[in-house]
């Protein structure tokens, strides 16, 4: 029996993870489950999987959680410190699936234990890449990438030397708005932006996919996970989402990882690593698929990938600022306050206004940069 903690149990990655655990329930002991404030679902999952502790990030929901778990013997906790305490519990694997920079503290707490972390929170690595990778090295932790693209790269690199890599190619679906004109993009509604043609994801990551910021964040994440140099990482739009990423080697060989557009595949890769496990996913049928197409990104209509590339090239606090500004802008768009095209424009304005600073060297410094960038973005949007 293996032990597991799941940070972000009620989101799309958390739900898929628990579905996989369900099919081999006797093989897993669940230590901790967390959610933001979805008390009813969190309590039901904690009871089903007999978790040792259930945690809500929003401490105002703690009383409701305690009531929902009354008589179960499951510990209930709430707040940021409780999240980090749950993440720090020694387990065989921690799945880090809290969306946004809110997941950074718990991820760092898990890393400090020196265990295995299946990382589905790309924003944490974007904002605190150097801090996180230094902590991984210091504590002997293992990072397994859950994002389908980085998991694909991880699989394609298996058994090969990083110095033999010529190119890492991140594939992007292009999202639901790929063929729209600038005029059409300006009028896009939140419902249109979250309606991804291939993947079932949460609202924030779906909007990031529509703006292509998701791929920009993944570019930065790939830079930290696979140190081949920024000039050897590229993005290709692949609307079918069948090839999840590719690695080209110096002998001319290119290895690609293919699979259905289903997050259970990369999650299963992490849960079973270094082995494999069964999933309920339908087999990939290339004959039925018919064709695979590829296009260069259009950074005129979708400038987010350019902004991410420029941010990581600039270094310092720029990547953390990029991520924070994007989170605020996306939330504003989803609330109906700004048009779709204003998301990337706001991020660029905040980056241009930011003074050049040294890279954060601690979690507190990262969080300070994040907080300042959020305040600046909110003020910018309020004055627009």
Instruction: Give pLDDT tens digits for 166-213.
Output: 999 999 999 899 999 999 999 999 999 999 887 777 889 899 999 999
| Rounded-to-integer distance, Cα 381 and Cα 127, Å | 22
Place of tokens 């557009």: 261
Residues 370 and 323 sit within 8 Å (Cβ to Cβ): yes
| Rounded-to-integer distance, Cα 136 and Cα 144, Å | 11
Residues 165 and 250 sit within 8 Å (Cβ to Cβ): yes
Q: How confident is the model at residue 356 (pLDDT cuts 50, 70, 90)?
A: low
Domain 315-384 sits in CATH at: 1.10.1740.10
| Rounded-to-integer distance, Cα 43 and Cα 72, Å | 10
| Rounded-to-integer distance, Cα 129 and Cα 369, Å | 14
Domain 2-145 sits in CATH at: 3.40.50.720
Residues 104 and 129 sit within 8 Å (Cβ to Cβ): no
Instruction: Give pLDDT tens digits for 329-349.
Output: 999 999 999 999 999 999 999
What global pTM score does this model have? 0.93
Instruction: Give pLDDT tens digits for 130-179.
Output: 999 999 999 999 999 999 999 999 999 999 999 999 999 999 999 899 99
- Cα separation values, 28 from 3, 18, 31, 291, 350, Å: 6, 10, 9, 39, 45
- For the chain, domain boundaries: 2-145, 148-305, 315-384
């Amino acid at each position: 029996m293996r032990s597991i903690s799941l940070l972000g149990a009620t989101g799309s990655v958390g739900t898929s993870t628990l579905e996989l655990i369900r099919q081999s329930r006797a093989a897993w002991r669940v230590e901790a489950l967390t959610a933001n404030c979805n008390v009813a679902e969190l309590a039901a999952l904690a009871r089903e999987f007999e978790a040792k502790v259930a945690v809500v990030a929003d401490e105002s929901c703690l009383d409701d959680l305690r009531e929902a778990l009354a008589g179960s013997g499951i510990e209930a906790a709430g707040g940021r410190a409780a999240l980090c305490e749950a993440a720090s519990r020694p387990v065989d694997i921690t799945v880090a699936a809290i969306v946004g920079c809110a997941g950074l503290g718990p991820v760092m707490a898990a890393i400090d234990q020196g265990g295995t972390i299946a990382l589905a929170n790309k924003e944490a690595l974007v904002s605190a890449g150097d801090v996180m990778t230094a902590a991984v090295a210091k504590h002997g932790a293992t990072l397994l990438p859950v994002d389908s693209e980085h998991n694909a790269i991880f699989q394609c690199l298996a058994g090969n030397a990083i110095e033999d890599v010529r190119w890492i190619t991140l594939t992007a679906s292009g999202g639901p708005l790929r063929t729209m004109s600038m005029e059409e993009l300006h009028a896009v509604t939140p419902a249109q932006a979250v309606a991804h043609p291939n993947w079932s994801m949460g609202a924030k990551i779906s909007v990031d996919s529509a703006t292509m910021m998701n791929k920009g964040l993944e570019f930065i994440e790939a830079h930290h996970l696979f140190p081949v140099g920024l000039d050897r990482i590229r993005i290709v739009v692949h609307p079918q989402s069948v090839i999840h990423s590719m690695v080209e080697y110096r002998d001319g060989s290119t290895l690609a990882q293919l699979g259905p557009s289903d997050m259970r595949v990369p999650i299963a890769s992490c849960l079973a690593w270094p082995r494999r496990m069964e999933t309920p996913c339908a087999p990939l049928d290339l004959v039925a698929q018919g064709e695979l197409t590829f296009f260069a990104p259009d950074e005129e209509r979708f400038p987010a990938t350019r902004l991410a590339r420029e941010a990581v090239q600039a270094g310092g606090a720029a990547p953390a600022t990029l991520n924070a500004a994007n989170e605020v802008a996306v939330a504003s768009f989803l609330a109906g306050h700004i048009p779709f095209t204003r998301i990337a424009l706001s991020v660029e304005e905040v980056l241009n206004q930011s003074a050049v600073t040294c890279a954060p060297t601690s979690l507190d410094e990262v969080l300070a940069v994040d907080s300042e960038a959020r305040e600046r973005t909110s003020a910018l949007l309020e004055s627009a």
